[in-house]
Amino acid sequence: MVMLRAGGVYADVDTECRQPLDGVLRANDSMVVGWENEFDSPAEAEHRHYVRSRQVGSHSASSAARRL
């Protein structure tokens, strides 16, 4: 809710930013999230202990401010 109301960037404490975000985040972005992984099939995802073939990571995200 804080990011939705105020906007900003979130990253887990063990996440390292290796380059400025200026080239990644754009003024018209409403939300940006990390892409965790993508597998060719649900079976391959399960074999690698993932729940889905395509998975969004929760380690980092950014959001534009919005009025609630």
**pLDDT tens digits, one per residue of 23-56:** 888 888 888 888 888 899 999 999 999 888 888 8
What length is written for the chain? 68
Q: Is the pTM of this model over 0.75?
A: no
CB-based contact 33:3 (threshold 8 Å): no
pLDDT at position 67: 66
CB-based contact 60:9 (threshold 8 Å): yes
Any idea of the CA torsion for 16, 49, 38, 12, to the nearest 10 degrees?
A: -20
Tokens of 14: 């063990």
Domain ranges within the chain, ordered by starting residue: 2-63
CB-based contact 58:14 (threshold 8 Å): no
